[in-house]
Amino acid sequence: MCSWHNNKARDGIRFTLSSTQMLQLKGYMTGELAASFRLRLPSPYPFAVLYYSESAQGWTYQDLAEDHLDTWDHGLAGEPLLELYVVIERVGGPQIRHQARAAHLPVLAT
């Protein structure tokens, strides 16, 4: 469905569905990392860490409970000490906001 829908050549062309249940996605940006999109989905955990995984050779994330907020940087399961990361807080309310609480990212030369 997504590859069909995302094809610009098919804009305005009607299609039929056999299922009446659909997933409504919000806030997706072209070129956004899948991990950063997934960490913004509803979660019972108040925090998440987006990090570069050496073992996976890519960006991933892990949800964090508040009591793990002070200890996650001592290592996540299967990962050495993280060099690149952003800690995100999910701030509740009618609309969930995502705030960066800490980060360690490379400085880009200008």
Assign 3-class secondary structure to 47-106: EEEEEEECCCCEEEEEEECHHHCCCHHHCCCCCCCCCCEEEEEEECCCCCEEEEEEEECC
| pLDDT top residue among 31 and 45 | 45
> What per-residue string of b and e applies to 87-99 under the rule 16 or more CB within 10 Å gives b?
bbbbeeeeeeeee
Domain boundaries, the chain: 29-104
Q: What is the pLDDT of residues 78-90, one digit of tens each?
A: 666 778 888 899 9
Amino acid at 60: T
Alpha-carbon dihedral angle through residues 17, 21, 27, 29, given to the nearest 10 degrees = -30
Q: What is the pTM of this model?
A: 0.65
Q: What is the pLDDT of residues 62-72, one digit of tens each?
A: 999 888 877 77
Q: What is the DSSP letter of 60?
A: E
